[in-house]
Amino acid sequence: MKAQALHGHLDALLLAVLEQGALHGYAIIEALRARSAGALDLPTGTIYPALRRLERAGYVASSWSTVNGRERRTYRLTDAGCRALAGERAGWQEFSATVGRFLGADEPPTAPA
């Protein structure tokens, strides 16, 4: 799946991944890939700008650490990020239920008389 197809949903997916706990950038990419059964194989050039955007919005906080002599940045969800994720989930439920009325039906509904 291409990053362009996720337009408008990538931020929510990143927040959902970080809901499980703090992760460094590559681990976030791997979590997206694993949870999507490989459908979301997004490049770092898509993920890192989105993480920076979420950090500027106050939904994600980051810190630097050294692991095996290498610097890496770890991201975690903030309280504001938890609230934003709840809002994204509510919006997604409404959207998917509405679209499902058209695309998920086995038979088209009858038109009102």
Please report whether residue 109 resides in a domain: no
pLDDT at position 4 is 63
> Are 31 and 17 contacting, i.e. CB atoms less than 8 angstroms apart?
yes
pLDDT at position 104 is 85
Q: What is the CATH number of the domain that holds 8?
A: 1.10.10.10
Please report whether residue 79 resides in a domain: yes
Q: How far is CA 10 from the centre of its chain?
A: 4
Please report whether residue 113 resides in a domain: no
Please report whether residue 18 resides in a domain: yes
Residue identified by tokens 């679209």 is: 99
Please report whether residue 34 resides in a domain: yes
Looking at this protein, which amino acid is placed at residue 2?
A: K
At 39-68, the pLDDT tens digits run: 998 889 999 999 999 999 999 999 998 888
Residues 97 and 59: their CA atoms lie apart, in Å, by 26
At 55-104, the pLDDT tens digits run: 999 999 999 988 889 999 999 999 999 999 999 999 999 999 999 999 98
Global confidence as pTM: 0.84
At 5-23, the pLDDT tens digits run: 677 899 999 999 999 999 9
Domain that holds residue 50: 3-102
Domain tally, the chain: 1
* Cα separation values, 25 from 29, 45, 53, Å: 6, 11, 14
Please report whether residue 108 resides in a domain: no
Helix (H) or strand (E) holding 7: none
- Sign of the dihedral through C-alpha 1, 50, 64, 70: positive
Residues 113 and 30: their CA atoms lie apart, in Å, by 52
Please report whether residue 29 resides in a domain: yes
